[in-house]
Amino acid sequence: MQVILCDSAEHVGKRAADIVEDYVRAGSAVLGLATGGSPSSTYRELIRRHREESLGFSDVRAFTLDEYAGLAPDHEQSYHTTIRREFVDHVDLPLENLMTPQGDVSDLAAEAERYDAAIGAAGGVDVQILGIGANGHIGFNEPTSSLSSRTRVKTLAGTTRRDNARFFSDGEVPRLCLTQGLGTIREARTALLVAMGANKAEAVRAMVEGPVSAHCPASVLQLHRRAVVILDPDAASLLS
Ligand code: F6R
């Protein structure tokens, strides 16, 4: 696991964008996209490079990490809408190349299986952008998730629902989600995790310096052949 320390969120975004750009410029990249606050500076930097440095996404395919169960793709808080608003609608990535698990289907288990197979059929993810939850989750693989799990239905932890209530005007966060599994995430050729802020420091410490354990799902990245962790000073503050 490579750990890169940066002096600000903007700097984190630039270093992460450098890695994504290498894949995009190589052609026909498959990106794995996280939502949430952590990758915002990365997406802002990629959008800037698209506008000012002709970084093109027209042959890129993208898979989001997860989706809330019960929300239609066009729901304001669905991850499909969120990733469009934060990134995809600002670059030339064709909408038909954006894949998200569909949260409003009746058979969620079948949808999870279909999504996992679609990632495989696309040749797998080249670079998976990740954030980390304060409880150590990646995707929505909450503590005690199997380290070899595939895309599946999960119950969100109470802490995660509280953390994400800020994005919902009524504070009502769905209880279930579809998430790529830890085994699925581990197959990405590069795992690129960005973390900012003191509330992530304990989870970052457990991920980088703790044992590989389902109690900190992100620790599975210690086993990854190319995991890059990019941190601001607050997120790195508990590392020895
Ligand atoms: C989002 C996701 C989550 C977030 C994590 C951190 O697609 O899968 O694992 O990356 O909850 O969220 P933020 O970045 O909002 O602190």
Spell out the domain ranges in the chain: 2-231
- Torsion angle (degrees, nearest 10) of CA 84, 88, 92, 98: -90
Question: Rounded to the nearest whole angstrom, what is the distance from the C-alpha of residue 85 to the centroid of ligand 1?
Answer: 16
The yes/no answer on whether domain 2-231 falls in CATH 3.40.50.1360 is yes
Query: Which pTM value belongs to this model?
Result: 0.97
E-assigned strands of the chain?
2-5, 30-33, 61-64, 66-68, 98-99, 127-130, 152-155, 176-179, 190-195, 227-231
Cβ–Cβ under 8 Å, residues 21 and 49: yes
Question: Rounded to the nearest whole angstrom, what is the distance from the C-alpha of residue 47 to the centroid of ligand 1?
Answer: 20
pLDDT tens digit string along 90-133? Answer: 999 999 999 999 999 999 999 999 999 999 999 999 999 999 99
Q: What pLDDT, on a 0 to 100 scale, did the predictor assign at position 171? A: 86
pLDDT tens digit string along 202-215? Answer: 999 999 999 999 99
Select from 78, 140, 152, 159 the residue to mutate for testing ligand 1; criterion: most ligand atoms less than 8 Å from CB: 140
Residues taking part in catalysis: 66, 135, 137, 142
Q: How far apart are alpha carbons 180 and 115 in whole angstroms?
A: 8
Closest CA to 79 of 168, 157, 162, 146: 168
- Tokens 């600000």 belong to 8
- Tokens 């980390």 belong to 132
